[in-house]
Amino acid sequence: MVAKRPVAFRGVLVPLLTPFNPSGSVDKQSLKKLVAFVLKGGVHGVFACGTTGEGPNLTDEMWDAVVETSSEAVAGQVPVFVGCIDTSTQRVIEKAKKLRKYAADYAVVAPPFYFSPDNQDEIVNHFKAVAGASPVPVYVYNIPQLTKCHIEPETIEKLAEIKNIAGLKDSSGNFPDFCRVLSRLRGRADFAILQGEEGILAPSLLMGANGIVPGCANLDPKLLVELFNAAARGNLFIANRLQYTLIDLRRELFIGPSVFSSLKAAASVLGLFGKNVTMPEPNISAAQVQKIKGVLVKYGVKREAKSLKK
């Protein structure tokens, strides 16, 4: 069993999009290109098979391909987090047990969905079982809008005391509860607190969060790294300015039928990979792709913004 790491993760953890071939298989070459792109942008870690990566929609074969390809592309440069998100504790454990084989560093685990836990004790029992069986440290993933159960701050405090649980990724958008967690656990050398809701990244960092998990880092990693660095320096003016820029960018960018379709359309405009999504996620229209192209030019999101004007 691997013990918790002595130093908590800090920085920008990019939740990788999952590129697909037209046939529906994982586009491994494009995934490698995406990893190289975000690493060049200065991110501090990558997160495969999360919500942004359509993790719960992937078949076992697709999940294995994403984890293996991501880890190989990273090649030890930064930590690799992997979403082990499924409908039962045992299915989550089966995924977590594969991570040593793929040289991944952390398992990101949500409460089971569909038959969701009815109370906080069931949530604790789930994480105890997973942490006890996982060969790598576990991050608690709080995303109640999808799992249909909210992990209370008091429960997170209990989970932080369990061996092999190394941190929290909170995507609930519940800032008061997030601050309650920070008030109890910030400063712990062995437990990282990460914010996944892009609308409150700067305030979360300024309140003491260790890091952020922004989907838009797939498109503009440097913007998010600059935001993190500004907050780490205590530069309120720059951190707020970049946060407002991100809020405006998201408002204009997310015009597709789903977040995935909008992000992937933007990635296709940037020349990273195609815009295919997993069923039943809907595809984006050609007209919407053109609007997204204009948004990327407006906000200077690039690899090469000048080429986008053609």
Residues annotated as catalytic (active site), given as ranges = 141, 169
**DSSP symbols for the chain:** -PPPPSS---EEEEE----B-TTSSB-HHHHHHHHHHHHHTT-SEEEESSTTTTGGGS-HHHHHHHHHHHHHHHTTSS-EEEE---SSHHHHHHHHHTTTTTT--EEEEPPPSSS--SSHHHHHHHHHHHHHH-SS-EEEEE-HHHHS----HHHHHHHTTSTTEEEEEE-S--HHHHHHHHHHHTT-TT-EEEE--GGGHHHHHHTT-SEE--GGGGT-HHHHHHHHHHHHTT-HHHHHHHHHHHHHHHHHH--SSSHHHHHHHHHHHTTS------TTSPPPPHHHHHHHHHHHHHTT-SS-HHHHT-
Token digits of residue 193: 């607190």
Q: Which amino acid is at 118?
A: D
Cα–chain center distance at 291: 25
